[in-house]
Amino acid sequence: RPAKEKMNRMFLNHKIACGMLCLCLMTEPLWAALTVELDDDEMACLQKIIYLNECSSNPEKLVIWPADEDFASLGIVHAIWYPRGRRGPFRETFPELLLFMKRHGQTLPEWLENCENLPWDDRDSFLRDSQSERMKSLRDFLLATRDLQTQFIVERVRKTLPDILSAVSDEERPLIEAKLGRVLGAPYGPLAVIDYINFKGEGVLETERSQGEGWGLLQVLRAMGETKEEDEILPEFVRAAKAVLDRRVEISPPGSKETDRIGGWKFRVQRYLMPPCEVK
């Protein structure tokens, strides 16, 4: 009898545990399950795509300072690094990238190890130093660590997908969640989502706005129409991305460079419809 009572208690405890698990699963938001998982071949394709899209597969473009910006853009991530004492509306990501690399066992160039801020005060000094040993070592370092930079990009996407869905209202969330889930489930969809976030961001930061409007992934998902067939999902994502980018040009300040860039932007998102490792 004691053995039977013990078995009954164990069975009851098991039922209680199962009930609590079911309750947790029922109350957990569905978007918590939305994630990005890539195999080695897909990671290699993603690295190729981003290196092409961000740098035209040219090592010289791994280290740039755009003429209309107050910061340098570095690596295939085009991670932002501000000069000392200067900050802007965009999130500074290069220090985060360096920390990520160090956590993964990557040794940094000696001069970069203890460099807290961009060592050039302005674009002119940056350009004057373009052929220095320090600049060459930075380009070589970023060329050799493209695999880690790709991992950093994917990790960023994994962390920020919930932020995108948390940024919308309870009423809008199911629709945005459904659209995002369908894009991630489409052939080449995860690579398109990852590249677009690396390209134009998540679309949730209030500082990344023009006239109150954003141009990130959230805005693309909002612009997507209804699609029924699987093969319609990615073309609709591309159409919506082009519309969002057109809108960015429309609301950009007078004299900005967006008008000159829109052709390249649209060409980039159009390539999402191509087999990833066949892009050139």
Question: pLDDT of 163-206, one tens digit each?
Answer: 898 999 999 999 999 999 999 999 889 999 999 998 898 988 77
Q: How far apart are CA 257 and CA 238, in angstroms?
A: 22
Q: How far apart are CA 43 and CA 66, in angstroms?
A: 28
Q: Is the dihedral of CA 222, 224, 228, 231 positive or negative?
A: negative
Global pTM value:
0.79
- pLDDT value for 177: 93
Burial of 113 (0-12, 13-18, 19+ CB in 10 A): exposed
Tokens found for residue 36: 């990005």
* C-alpha closest to that of 279 among 45, 123, 83, 23: 45
- pLDDT value for 254: 78
* C-alpha closest to that of 141 among 220, 199, 59, 217: 59
Q: Is residue 217 a contact partner of residue 197, using CB atoms and an 8 Å limit?
A: yes
pLDDT digits (tens, 9 = 90+) for 209-224: 777 788 899 999 999 9
- pLDDT value for 267: 93
172-206 as b/e, with b when 16 or more CB fall inside 10 Å? Answer: ebeebbebbebbbebebbbbbbbbbbbbbbbbbee
- pLDDT value for 29: 47
The tens place of each residue's pLDDT in the chain, 280 residues long, gives 444 343 334 333 333 333 333 333 333 444 445 677 888 988 999 999 999 989 999 999 999 999 888 899 999 999 999 998 877 778 889 999 999 999 999 999 999 988 888 999 999 999 999 999 999 999 999 999 999 999 999 998 988 888 898 999 999 999 999 999 999 999 889 999 999 998 898 988 776 777 778 889 999 999 999 887 888 999 999 999 999 999 998 888 877 778 888 999 999 999 999 877 776 6
- pLDDT value for 14: 34
- pLDDT value for 91: 84
- pLDDT value for 224: 96
